[in-house]
Amino acid sequence: MSIRALIVDDSSVMRKIVERSLRQAGIDLSDVFQAGNGAEALGVLRDSKVDLILCDINMPVMDGLEFIKQLPGVENANGVPVVMITTEGSESHVVQALSCGARGYIRKPFTPEQVKEHVVPVLAGKS
Amino acid sequence: MKSVSKLLAADGGHENWIPLLDTAAKEVFQLMLSCRLTTSATSDETKLNVTAMVGLAGQLCGVLSVRCNQKAAALMTSKMLGVARDRVGSEVADALGEVCNMVAGNFKNKIPGLAEGCMLSPPTVITGSDYDLHSMSHSPAVEIRMLFESMPIVISLDIHG
């Protein structure tokens, strides 16, 4: 199955690494949208439908937690799974992200295998 | 909330953080760049003309910096992106900033209680070596010297309180 992914991170290098990791994980990407913060990502979602969102937490303008809190009001984000990819590794961040609606949590640094391990079950609706 | 002095005392002083910083850096390079950092006793710091810095605030206040030369920064970028070194351009500062950010995050996650109570700033990257850094605090620094593909890297954690 081919999917459309939205990658949200203030580092363009990290966005490219995440995209490459998804492809290395065997995930077939038909479209990849990118945003440098939560506000930009909401702008992308106003115009585009996606199947998966991967999102950093610490970003300027609008951070990842605020972004996912706003997703329920965004039509194109209904039911779209969000996986956080972040350096923030505390349990409280994980709990906060999951309570805000995230379906997965990957800590940086990460390997493509870890991306696969967290993203594939989410896409299959098992997480 | 624990103060940094209590954290330092609980850990037996900042010297005990050196192996944690060493491990944090090695893990980042292993996982994100697929290469091994080796510990180095000395390095020629006069040629380290790219500096990435991330601020820490909360239970631990300070600045974590990663210093290397342009060639090492470009090679790190090419390894992170999986492209040839001659195809690397403006991404170098972004890549080194992300390396610094991940080392800082990985380091704080290794100290019990610190992951919760310490926030990281976005990275800042300075190019050039003709500058002096002045800190208003006289607290100790934790510093490690490494070799990345035979090129020196210095990682420092300046503790402000």
> Smallest Cβ distance to B115: which of A60, A89, A108?
A89
Residues 23-42 of A with CB under 8 A from B: none
Nearest-CA neighbor of A89 among A105, A65, A102, A104? Answer: A105
Contact B50, B131 (CB under 8 A): no
- Above 50 in pLDDT, residue B8? yes
Shortest CA distance from B78: residue in chain A: A13
Q: Are B50 and B126 in contact (CB under 8 A)?
A: yes
The amino acid that residue A122 corresponds to is V
Domain of B123, CATH number, reads: 3.40.1550.10
Q: Nearest chain B Cα to A16, which residue?
A: B81
Strands (E), B60-99: 62-68
Indicate the average pLDDT of chain B: 87
pLDDT over 50 (residue B1) = no
Nearest to A93 by CA among B42, B119, B51, B155: B119
Highest-pLDDT range among B12-16, B44-48, B68-72 = B68-72
**Which of A10, A17, A58 minimises the CB distance to B80?**
A17
Query: What residues in A contact B81, CB-CB < 8 Å?
Result: 13, 16-17, 20
Judged by DSSP in three states, A6 sits in strand
A7 vs A36: CA distance, rounded Å? 9
Handedness of CA B21, B64, B117, A7 (dihedral sign): negative
Residue A20 touches partner B, C-beta closer than 8 Å: yes
Closest CA to A59 of A37, A39, A85: A37
Q: What is the rounded distance in angstroms from the CA atom of residue A36 to the CA atom of residue A44?
A: 11
Q: Which domain holds residue B133?
A: 4-159
Q: What pLDDT, on a 0 to 100 scale, did the predictor assign at position B68?
A: 96
Angle at which helices A12-24 and B91-109 pack, to 10 degrees? 80
Q: Is B128 on the interface with A (CB under 8 A)?
A: no
Whether B113 has a pLDDT exceeding 90, the answer reads no
The CATH number corresponding to A2-123 among 3.40.50.10860, 3.40.718.10, 3.40.50.2300, 3.40.50.720 equals 3.40.50.2300
Question: Which residue stretches of chain A have pLDDT < 70?
Answer: 126-127
* B9-24 tens-digit pLDDT: 555 567 788 999 999 9
The ipTM, to two decimals, is 0.89
* SS3 per residue for A8-48: ECCCHHHHHHHHHHHHHCCCEEEEEEEECCHHHHHHHHHHC
Domain ranges for chain A: 2-123
Least confident of A55-69, B3-17, B46-60, B119-133: B3-17
- Highest mean pLDDT, choosing among A27-31, B15-19, B40-44, B136-140: A27-31
Query: Residues near A118 by Cβ (< 8 Å), separated by ≥ 6?
Result: A83, A104, A105, A106, A127
The phi and psi torsions of B107 (rounded to 5 degrees) equal -65, -50
- Number of domains composing chain B: 1
